[in-house]
Amino acid sequence: MDIQLIQSLVEAWGPPGREGRIRAVIEQHLAGLVDETRTDRMGNLIALKRATVKLPAGAPPLRVMLSAHMDEIGFVVSHIEEKGFVRFAAVGGLRPLSLLGNRVVFENGAIGTIQVEKGILAADSLPKMTDLFIDVGATDAASAPVKVGDMGALAGTLAQQGDRLIAKSMDDRIGCAVVIQALRRLKRTPHDIYAVFSVQEEVGLRGARTSAYAINPDIGIAVDVTLTGDFPEAVPMSVALGKGAAIKVQDSSVIADPRLRALMVARAKEARIPYQLEVLTAGGTDTAAIQMAHEGVPAGCISIPTRYVHSISEMVDVKDVQACVDLLAAILSKPIDLQD
């Protein structure tokens, strides 16, 4: 497992609509792994690895689209008060309780800390987003190092504790790492593989939607995080850290193609890759956008079990990450025949 790769991805800055820095990092890691890369008008990074194995009877290679989103949850400055305190709006799924006391880094490098109005805590009430502000150390509005419209993201570094990795933006930089490492493993493939590192997933699967229309794939596989049910008072769920790759059955946005799901399970069994089935009752991934492109695309998802999603301390297990890499490589290295 390439921990340095993961670190370079999770520590990069890139909220929705501002993915330029993380895109540059990913493009560096793709050097020598693919035949071509391009950035489309939405900002998606699309890497093509052409088929190297001919199919029987001269059949054309399948166009297989992979999608892992490179944006992270973020903030946008909505107002600066007279005393220099910054009000903000969420860009993606932020939760007030997970934000208190965290640091924010803006695109220009300015740092702030997220705090809450005193009266809210005094009333012993749960804060709302409108109760929070960012203190950037300014003495007044004129001295604030940011302006309305500036974007920010959580500031944090990768930590490793045994097999567990903790960082901000595992969602979905760990999915990007899985795709990159699978491409490293893939010496021969019968497919034309379009690896998409998509933009603006956190605000509505936007990058995957446009790239799926452009690629018009025969098969789509998203790689993203999923929740777990293995910590105190968690919502009951049959996904846990350390038990392998999660193969999606459904979430609130998609029902995975049952033929592709069956193929994933078969490949996992053949290669003795640990896996678990995922039924997510809330949330969604790029799978849904791919599935609904053109006349419809058979689509599924390989999910990395992750605790504390959409926080500064998202946690994964390296054994699960490796299982996801192994499973994706196993799927892409052989012909894909979806049996009804």
Question: Among candidates 208, 199, 205, 246, which has minimal Cα distance to 26?
Answer: 199
Instruction: Give yes or no: 201 in active site.
Output: yes
Please give the C-alpha separations between residue 107 and each of 28, 145, 304, 313, in angstroms, as whole numbers. 21, 11, 28, 21
Catalytic residue among 19, 27, 82, 201: 201
Distance CA(326)–CA(217), nearest Å, equals: 22
Residues 88 and 74: beta-carbon distance below 8 Å: no
**Contact in structure between 5 and 181 (CB atoms under 8 Å):** yes
- Which residues have CB under 8 Å from 190's CB, separation 6+? 51, 52, 53, 54, 55, 61, 62, 334, 335
Helix axes 3-10, 20-30, angle to 10 degrees: 160
Q: Which residues are catalytic?
A: 201
